[in-house]
Amino acid sequence: MQEIYGYVRVSTREQNEDRQMLALGEMSIPEENIYMDKLSGKDFHRPMYQKLLKRLRAGTLLYIKSIDRLGRNYEEILEQWRIITKDKKADIVVLDMPLLDTRRGKDLMGTFLSDIVLQVLSFVAENERGNIRQRQREGIEAAKLRGVRFGRPPRPLPEDFGQICGRWIAGEISGTRAAALCDMPVPTFYRKAEIYKRKEEEGV
């Protein structure tokens, strides 16, 4: 009897894997043969995927819900597909894309069509990842233009900063000593001291 496996991947622990599990459940895959990673698809350094890979061999069958569950890096998806189908001689079925079923079309034309579809889908998956990053960058830039601040709020200056800064300007103490008195890193003191001096000169 043919050994059947399934692979599930969600990017974060907060994401829900139910949709993938339900789809694989319809394929009558033994529960112990379903491997799941809750990790990014940017590479294939995933513990459960690596365990699964060791189990695959000639005659075994792997089901995945969609090609982007396998991964999101175009070149690495193609490389893993080659390892599974050529080196391991196992079969893969992508449930969302019936053309990606290596059990059919074992002849040259079938393999050729499968390879073309795989390359197109892999490219689309990686391109979408790039689009998501671009949208995130654009969203951050738009938020900055609206005045939204990112990161931790700036630490307030100590009450005696002006006095300490004045002593440093007068040459009474070094910048290192002034920074220590203000309980801040030396570069931070110099940056804030320059702003303070400028405001004093402008009478702000």
Give me the helix-helix angle, 161-169 and 175-182, nearest 10°: 180
Taking alpha carbons only, the member of 168, 197, 196 closest to residue 180 is 168
- Separation between Cα atoms, residue 145 and residue 133, nearest integer Å: 19
Taking alpha carbons only, the member of 58, 69, 57 closest to residue 23 is 69
Active-site residue, from 11, 40, 66, 174? 11
Per the CB < 8 A criterion, the answer to whether 63 and 53 are in contact is no
- Separation between Cα atoms, residue 54 and residue 88, nearest integer Å: 9
Q: Residue 93: beta bridge partners?
A: 63, 101
Amino acid of residue 203: G
Cα–Cα separations (whole angstroms), residue 143 to 44, 68, 78, 131, 149? 34, 30, 37, 18, 8
- Asked if 40 is an active-site residue, the reply is no
Give me the helix-helix angle, 108-145 and 74-82, nearest 10°: 150
Active site residues: 11
